[in-house]
């Protein structure tokens, strides 16, 4: 610092302020030598847009600083994010404008709009990152990767699922051999009746039959019957009657006892007729009609059957019964909850 110069005076010497603005149509590449060292202003966005080699079409402040074999330009805009750009020239060749990293630029680089971040604490990024806007996601959903751009932001799924029969493995239910006990009981039948309508039967027919030959034999003649041949007639009365006949043995009687009068053994018997059979004729039953009455059969008021105390049912190897209630199964799994925020601006 030269003797007698104040700091303010030195600034005025090193950074002379042009009292006029950069104006419209100015090319910043022309400020490229030590003679242009100083501070310049651009008061209009329109003038900046109409000029050349501005870092952005915005009003701002241009600083030209000395550099080895050239100068350094620094341009700071007035509005928006107060961004500051810098570039330098070397032997008349300019480099590209570079934007200084500010807090807001860092936020934009690390947390672009649309990003989601999570905190394991109650942190609000609207406060932690000034100049940015965030919305907390509180729908309680798990995160899943989208298959394509069209699926980004879509939702679906459930924390529970209800199993259907087709979801179960093939299986059988086996019931062990067991018994069912039925208590002693009775069955009661109410009083009722059965009625048969009046009707008749008519039958006209006859039968003829023959007895089996019974061998040679004689017949006893009683009550004054007269016989021819062996024996005489005999009259049976109170003093002359048959006491008994014993037999038959073979085909004839073996003994006869008469009481009173003559008791000659061969008296009162017929001659032998030899072995023969007799024909039996059943007479015709023409016109025999029977009529049934429409009578009523009345059942008793109570019929009681006593059940046995135990009836045993043997369970088969695959006896199936209905079970279950269809309650949904939770599939959310073990989780850890974080605060999730999405940057919107």
The predicted-structure confidence for 275-284, as pLDDT tens digits, reads as follows: 777 676 655 5
Percent pLDDT > 70 in the chain is 57
| pLDDT classification of 76: cutoffs 50, 70, 90 | very high
Secondary structure element (H or E) that encloses residue 94, with its range: strand 93-94
CA distances from 342 to 33, 122, 128, 143 (A): 48, 15, 14, 13
Gap between the Cα atoms of 49 and 57, Å rounded: 4
| Lowest model confidence (mean pLDDT) among 164-168, 179-183, 280-284 | 280-284
| pLDDT classification of 45: cutoffs 50, 70, 90 | very high
The mean pLDDT of 164-168, rounded to a whole number, is 87
- pTM for this entry: 0.40
Pairing state between β 134-137 and 339-343: antiparallel
> Which residues, in sequence order, are CB contacts of 189 under 8 Å at separation 6+?
299, 300, 301, 302, 303
Q: Highest mean pLDDT: which of 111-115, 202-206, 218-222, 294-298? A: 111-115
The predicted-structure confidence for 222-268, as pLDDT tens digits, reads as follows: 444 444 444 444 555 554 444 444 444 444 443 444 444 444 544 45
Does position 66 have pLDDT exceeding 60, yes or no? Answer: yes
Higher pLDDT, 252 or 98: 98
Higher pLDDT, 8 or 272: 272
Query: Average per-residue pLDDT in the chain?
Result: 74
The mean pLDDT of 294-323, rounded to a whole number, is 56
Higher pLDDT, 153 or 200: 153
Contact (Cβ atoms closer than 8 angstroms) between residue 107 and residue 132: yes
In whole angstroms, how large is the CA radius of gyration of the chain? 70
């Amino acid at each position: 610092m030269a003797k007698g110069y104040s700091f303010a005076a030195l600034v005025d010497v090193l950074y002379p302020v042009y009292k006029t603005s950069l104006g419209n149509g100015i090319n910043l590449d022309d400020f490229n030598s030590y003679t242009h060292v100083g501070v310049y202003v651009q008061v209009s966005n329109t003038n900046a847009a109409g000029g050349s080699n501005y870092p952005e079409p915005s009003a701002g402040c241009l600083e030209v600083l000395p550099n080895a074999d050239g100068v350094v330009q620094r341009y700071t805009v007035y509005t928006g994010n107060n961004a500051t750009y810098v570039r330098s020239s070397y032997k008349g060749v300019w480099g590209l404008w570079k934007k200084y990293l500010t807090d807001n630029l860092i936020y934009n680089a690390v947390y672009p709009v649309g990003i989601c971040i999570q905190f394991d604490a109650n942190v609000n990024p609207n406060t932690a990152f000034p100049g940015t806007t965030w919305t907390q996601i509180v729908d309680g959903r798990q995160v899943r990767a989208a298959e394509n751009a069209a699926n980004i932001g879509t939702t679906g799924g459930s924390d529970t699922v209800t199993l259907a029969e087709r979801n179960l493995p093939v299986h059988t239910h086996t019931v062990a051999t067991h018994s069912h006990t039925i208590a002693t009981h009775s069955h009661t039948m109410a009083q009722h009746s059965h009625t048969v309508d009046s009707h008749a039967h008519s039958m006209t027919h006859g039968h003829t039959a023959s007895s089996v030959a019974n061998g040679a034999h004689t017949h006893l003649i009683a009550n004054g019957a007269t016989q021819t041949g062996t024996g005489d007639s005999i009259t049976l009365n109170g003093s002359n009657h048959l006491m008994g006949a014993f037999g038959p043995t073979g085909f004839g009687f073996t003994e006869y006892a008469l009481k009173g009068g003559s008791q000659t053994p061969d008296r009162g018997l017929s001659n032998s007729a030899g072995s023969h059979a007799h024909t039996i004729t059943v007479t015709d039953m023409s016109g025999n009609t029977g009529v049934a009455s429409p009578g009523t059969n009345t059942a008793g008021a109570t019929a009681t059957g006593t059940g046995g105390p135990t009836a045993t049912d043997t369970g088969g190897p695959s006896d199936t019964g209905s079970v279950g209630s269809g309650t949904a199964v939770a599939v959310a799994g073990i989780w850890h909850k974080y605060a999730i925020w999405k940057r919107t601006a």
